A and B are shown apart, each in its own frame.
Chain A
């Protein structure tokens, strides 16, 4: 965490709303991208981001200032997104959206691109919440396994196993697309 961010977190932890606003402005886009990969829905992702920041503000007094705010925020966003998935039982929604797959944008692409997007969505839907979270953080967000283990409150080995299972499932699902 850089000094500027650390100062903001310190001020926000004392109830300084303006400092927290700066943290929200600086981190919203990254949290949105993260949340979208879990929810596959822009409106839901925004809901997750809002809820995550409110949780963050409420927990800020217990935040360890030696830790990284963005890593901490990631953890809260991931947990909030997973809560959302459990609440909404998004498996059905994923499958429905995999069928629809944002028609406005993706229908303009060649059929093969559409197939790949649909299959990717459907394959992600078939992962467990834990596998999806681990794969999202590793593959899309570029977090190390150690960071992911901390975020998901897992041992490093359990985290690796979740990633191995996720990759194995994704390979099986996506293989037909790259061999045809």
Chain B
């Protein structure tokens, strides 16, 4: 009869033993039972290894953070200030980013006014181009998010988490509408204002049975495609 090692008992503990006779041998031998009990007792604290239960919005939050980057095919961003800046969700950092974009839009609106003096005639300052790209990128991501959310609803995706998702988009939608208006992009501003009541309705109806107009979806997609980060809105 082969000797039973600690490794054999570990396999038995995890139900991975290959020797079919092993459980019987351990059950019949008090010394082996004591060894198995000792192993079990010494590993018991592992079960108290503290793992927090993820909050129910983790899935929605994860999707919100990665969705635009999946579309771009780029590498994920780390958390911290940069991720907070880029994350399309409601947070103080995210809100700050949205407000900053709105501020940029306001400046761009002023810049396009006739009385605005440019450094060199006929040229656009570099900061303004970067600002427009930032604005286009952010609004484009927002529209893509809305497209995915509303397409899901149009396809009867009655996921109760859609309500949280929509709620997180309402504020940014409103600020982007103001930003677009300040930048003189009336068509985009109108589209965003049209989206707001729908987002609010979805946020307030967890069953997500909100009818989605196909023409609105079409316009959202078209607008998102037109928002090339390299072109001003």
The residues of A with any CB-CB pair to B shorter than 8 Å are 17-18, 20-22, 24-26, 28-29, 32-33, 36-37, 42-44, 46-47, 49-51, 53-54, 57-58, 101-102, 105-106, 113, 116-117, 119-121, 124, 138-140, 144-145, 160, 163-164, 167-168, 170-171, 174-175, 177-178
Residues on A with C-beta less than 8 A from B66 are 24, 50, 53-54, 57
In the complex, the number of residue pairs spanning A and B with C-beta atoms less than 8 Å apart equals 123
Q: How far is the CB of B14 from chain A (nearest CB, A)?
A: 6
Please name the residue on chain A nearest to B152 by beta carbon: A18
B39 nearest in chain A by CB position? A171
B14 x A102 contact (CB < 8 A): no
Can you report 23 A-B residue pairs in the complex whose CB atoms are below 8 A from each other?
A20-B70, A21-B67, A22-B159, A24-B63, A25-B59, A28-B58, A32-B58, A33-B54, A36-B51, A36-B52, A37-B51, A47-B78, A49-B62, A105-B50, A120-B46, A138-B14, A139-B14, A145-B14, A145-B16, A160-B7, A163-B10, A170-B42, A178-B45
Would you give the shortest CB distance from A169 to chain B, in whole angstroms? 11
Query: Which residue of chain A has the shortest Cβ distance to B87 in the bound complex?
Result: A50
User: Smallest distance from the beta carbon of A163 to chain B beta carbons, Å?
Assistant: 7
Q: Is the CB of B71 closer than 8 A to any CB of chain A?
A: yes
CA distance A119 to B51 in the complex (A): 15
Q: Is there contact, CB below 8 Å, between A18 and B151?
A: yes
**Smallest CB separation, B117 vs chain A (Å):** 45
Interface size on B, residues (CB 8 A): 44
Interface residues of B in 110-149 (CB under 8 A from A): 148
Contact yes or no, A139 B43, CB < 8 A: yes
Q: Which secondary structure dominates chain B's binding surface?
A: helix
B73 interface hit (Cβ, 8 Å):
yes
Can you name the residue of chain A whose Cβ is closest to the Cβ of B147? A17
Set of chain B residues within 8 Å of A160, measured between Cβ atoms: 7, 11
By DSSP majority rule, is chain A's interface helix, strand, loop, or mixed? helix
- A111 CB to closest chain B CB, in angstroms? 14
Rounded to whole angstroms, the CA-CA distance of A87 and B29 in the bound complex is 48
Looking at B14, B42, B44, B65, the one whose CB has the most chain A CB atoms below 10 A away is B42
| Chain B hits for A33, CB < 8 A | 51, 54
- Complex Cα distance A32/B54, Å? 7
Structural contact, A51 and B76, CB atoms closer than 8 A: yes
Is the Cβ of B54 less than 8 Å from the Cβ of A28? yes
Residue from B16, B44, B46, B48 whose CB has the most chain A CB atoms within 10 Å = B46
CB neighbours of A138 from chain B (8 A): 14
B78 touches A171 (CB 8 A): no
Contacting residues of chain B (1-55) with chain A, CB-CB under 8 angstroms: 6-7, 10-11, 14, 16, 39, 41-46, 48-52, 54
Contact of A28 (CB < 8 Å), options: B39, B62, B71, B83: B62
User: Is B49 within 8 A of A140, CB to CB?
Assistant: yes
| Interchain CB contact (< 8 A) of B45 among A17, A53, A164, A177 | A177
- Residues A117 and B48 in contact, CB atoms below 8 Å apart: yes
- Output the residue of B11, B16, B44 with the most chain A CB within 10 A: B16
Check A102 against B70 for contact (C-beta < 8 Å).
no
Contact B62 A42 (CB under 8 A): no
Closest to A57 in B: B70
Report the separation of the CA atoms of residues A137 and B63 in the bound assembly, to the nearest whole angstrom: 25
CB atoms of B43 and A42 under 8 A apart: no
CA distance A46 to B44 in the complex (A): 27
Tell whether A17 pairs with B70 under 8 Å between CB atoms, given A25-B63, A140-B49.
Answer: yes
How many whole Å from B151's CB to the nearest CB in chain A?
6
Q: How far is the CA of A36 from the CA of B51 in the complex (A)?
A: 7
Q: B215 contacts the other chain (Cβ, under 8 Å)?
A: no
Measured between beta carbons, the chain B residues less than 8 angstroms from A36 are 51-52
- Supply 4 further A-B pairs (C-beta < 8 A) apart from A25-B63, A36-B51: A17-B70, A17-B71, A53-B62, A145-B14
